[in-house]
Structure 1
Amino acid sequence: MEKSSPKHSFLILILGALTALSPFSIDMYLPAFPKMAEDLHTNIAQVSLSLSSYFVGLAIGQLFYGPLLDRFGRKKPLYFGLGLYLLATVGCLFSHSIDNLIAFRLIQALGGCAANVAAIAMVRDFFSPKESAKVFSLLVLILGVSPLLAPTAGGILSSTYGWPSIFIALFIIGLLILLLAIFYLPQGREADPSHPLQPVAIVKNYFSIFLEPQFYTYTFAGSMAFSGLFVYLAGSPTIFMEVFKVSEQVYGWIFGFLAAGFIGASQLNILLLKRFGNEKILLFSLAGLTFTGFVFALGAYNNWWGIISTIALLFVFLGFAGLANPNASALAMAPFERNAGSASALMGSLQMGIGALVSITVGVMKAQQLFPITVVFAGSALLALLILVLGSRRIPNKVEAPDSDGSLVAH
């Protein structure tokens, strides 16, 4: 990696494509929510449940692919997952009811999450620990392209050809990634028939990790903070296209701007860590997240906010969320060395699961105004802060997080 060869660069691009599949699947169809609601005879809040079901699929799938990748090698489970993703994408394309769409999006995520899990495992296979940190940093940059490009592309496709064209595009993207994996991606770690797949052994391992106070305190605090991003993803079509009546294309530009704030805060964290510890940054970010959430909710209740002030408040709110997430993740993972892979899978699953549950409130509440969504923002932020303050007192021997170049988080 010191002198990156073209071969290495192409490999990193393939791994980046794998990690970006699910973010593209999430971000690309958001501008189409109004047209989908009209065609499927429902409302935007109900369409947002198809986003929540995708998060549920990501949460469940991560727990299964880790052991499968160790037992059968990297490529066979990856092929299975991508094949399942393609079949489910066809199901989404031909869905004629919101219930069918919600179900196929769940299956789509169960297949698609294999790409991200396999990519992270393959970084460890192909690169040394020192090189891996640099590769992960490059993958973060590739991930950053998704929220900047996907909504804009989705808005153009939806307004020009209709919302089904988005799922045609996702099918083509998924097929191209599968072909790249078949013909150009090295095998990585070979199959290990001795790796146990007994459910009891897997559950016991995950349960022992979960019972570590430092793990559950920072995982739950970070997950509640991170759920603000999920609520934003589910509620932003309502906020901008229903409340403020912007077009699909304008929504895409707003989404890209706000995503830049979230990504920028994650990178700012690297600079802050040179002066402050993870714990201090996390406490500051959760306090700021809570304050911003309550100011946002108070103003929404009194109809103070226009589109510019709403964008500004969301920029700040998502910035604090982007600052909280890597520090909470680093502190949660700090006690684990031998079983870091399992701890990472469990943490990722809990993040996605909690985010999915919180985002479901947007659909269940039929939140078609700004105020109910901001209440969820404020409530989840306050809960995150309380978990941190109360839970950190119950950690007997706190392990400090090691220095790192950042973290790879795919939404």
Structure 2
Amino acid sequence: MSAPSATALPAAPAPVSIHPGLAILVLALLLSIQPVTTDLYLPALPALTRSLGAPLSAAQLTLSGLLLAFGCSQMVWGPLSDRFGRRPVLLAGLTIYTVASVGSALAPSMALLIVWRIAQGAAMGAVVMCARAIVRDLYTPLEGARAMSKALTGLGIVACICAPMGGLLSEWLGWRAALSALTVYAVVTLALVALRMPETLAQRNPQALQPRALVGTWLHVLKSPTFWAFSLQTTATYGGLFTFLAASSFVYIDVLGLSRTQFGWTMASACAAYLGGTFLCRRLLARHGLQRTVAIAGGLSVAGGTLMALVAWMGWHHPFALLLPFYLFMVGHGIHQPCGQSGAVGPFPQAAGVASALNGFMMMLAAFAIGGWLGQRLDGTVWPLVNGIWFWSVVLALISWTLVQKFGAARDRA
């Protein structure tokens, strides 16, 4: 597929040289800002809601509003990074995120907390979008899937730490302490990027922000069946994860009776299953290639979601009984995300920022819709959590077994 003449992009120059260890470390920290932003405060969410005297629907907005801003902002940050480079966009995003983290921790009302969380989401869009684009700057699609799985292993480790840490902080020092920890993470990451991370975009696109060129690039990406196959795959797997993130604290703490600390360890165990999935991903890629790996992950996902629904239907409403099958879904998620994210941007070496932004926007649009649905459906039972995860596991398996198998091997070029 060739781009329209009005938006023709220059040939890709030689890849930028960067130490492999530094690249993986920075990618892991940049991608981890998303679970840090969500998982650290999840154990405190019920207490936060009561402390600020807000309804459940408003509490859901602190998560779904953040993620909608995260998705929408990438539509702006993506072209900016293609025009000016990844480094300046990263520095701007991390700086804004740091300020918003301080505001969130000090917010005196739910309304102001939502505003600051939306600002965090917009800034987080710059960070995660650039991380995905950097993968395409440095690697081919298959190499990018392996590199992404290593970076997401780091994300899994961080996520395993975040949930219990959030539970302990909120238990000992209150929910504001859990939100304050985000500032520390942001400052450390900002310092590493400012001091050690070079620019990875070998050649900036001077036309990236021109309306005609920008629309042409968007259309070029959106016409690619490969982009749609992998983007729908990542959207479906994130839909299942977000259902768990948005509903699990209310279900496991308020319905099933876990303490905030116990819930934190529950989250950590799910993150450990995800971590195992990222290791398994690299082994499967080496043995079976990208498409077969995604098909295997689809089977794990639908098995986990279906078993979870069966357990709930049989009346075994116990934390561990519901968590065991969800581990299968999380192992699949650890395979789907590196394969899907690298596959979605793979065909577009000269428009990786735009492709990454569109992919991220789709995931976060789904998350916002799920958050709104859960805000109206959380009814003091396990069923909103169970039904949501089962639905997305079935959708994910169908996409993995059909669209990815048909279009995943395509090699469009921007």
1:114-263 alignment, distance < 5 Å: 114-121=126-133, 136=148, 138-187=150-199, 189=201, 192=204, 194-263=206-275
How far apart, in 2, do the equivalents of 1:48 and 1:27 lie? Answer: 14
Distance 1:85 1:183 in 2: 18
Give the gaps of 5 or more residues in structure 2: 1-17
- 2:412 is aligned with 1:400: no
Question: Which of 379, 385, 390 pairs up with 2:391?
Answer: 379
Q: 2-side partners of 1:378 and 1:96: how far apart?
A: 37
From 354, 378, 387, the counterpart of 1:366: 378
- The CA distance in 1 between the partners of 2:258 and 2:268, in whole Å, is 14
Is structure 2 residue 115 aligned with structure 1 residue 106?
A: no
Is the 1:264–1:319 Cα contact (8 Å) retained in structure 2?
Answer: yes
**In structure 2, C-alpha distance between the alignment counterparts of 1:70 and 1:216, rounded to whole Å:** 21
How far residue 33 of structure 1 moved from its aligned partner, in angstroms, is 1.1
Query: Which one of 253, 277, 298 corresponds to residue 265 of structure 1?
Result: 277
What is the Cα deviation at residue 261 of structure 1?
0.7
How far the C-alpha of 1:386 sits from its partner, in A, is 4.4
Q: Provide Cα deviations, 1:329-370, integer angstroms capped at 9, x if missing partner.
A: 455556555544433332232223223322432223234421
Quote the residue 2:52 is aligned against.
40
Q: What count of residue pairs does the alignment treat as equivalent?
A: 393
The secondary structure found in structure 1 opposite 2:257 is coil
2:103 is aligned with 1:94: no
TM-score scaled by structure 2? 0.81
Query: What does residue 27 of structure 1 align with?
Result: 39
CA positional deviation for 1:30:
0.9
Let me know the Cα RMSD of the aligned residues: 3.4
Q: Distance in 2 between matches of 1:283 and 1:69?
A: 33
- Normalised TM-score (structure 1): 0.82
Cα distance change on mapping 1:213 and 1:178 into 2, 3 Å:
closer
Select between 166-175 and 243-252 the one with higher mean Cα deviation.
166-175
Q: Which residue of 1 aligns with 2:90?
A: 78
Q: What is the rounded CA distance, in whole Å, between the counterparts of 2:408 and 2:27 in structure 1?
A: 31
C-alpha displacement of 1:26: 1.4
Conservation of the 8 A alpha-carbon contact between 1:278 and 1:328: no
Q: 1:84 to 1:341 in 2, by over 3 A?
A: closer
Report the secondary structure of 1:369's partner residue.
coil
- Kept in 1: contact 2:70–2:121 (CA 8 A): yes
| Cα 1:188/1:165, change in 2 over 3 Å | same
Aligned residue runs from structure 1 range 32-71, under 5 A: 32-43=44-55, 46-71=58-83
Residues 302 and 139 (structure 1), Cα distance of their counterparts in 2 relative to 1, 3 Å cut? closer
Of 293, 296, 302, 2:305 maps to 293
Q: Report the AA paired with residue 116 of structure 2.
A: F
Q: Percent identity?
A: 27
Contact kept in structure 1, 2:73 and 2:125, CA below 8 Å: yes
Partner-residue secondary structure (3-state), 2:409: coil
Whole-angstrom distance in 1 between the partners of 2:36 and 2:236: 23
SS of equivalent residue, structure 1 residue 303? coil
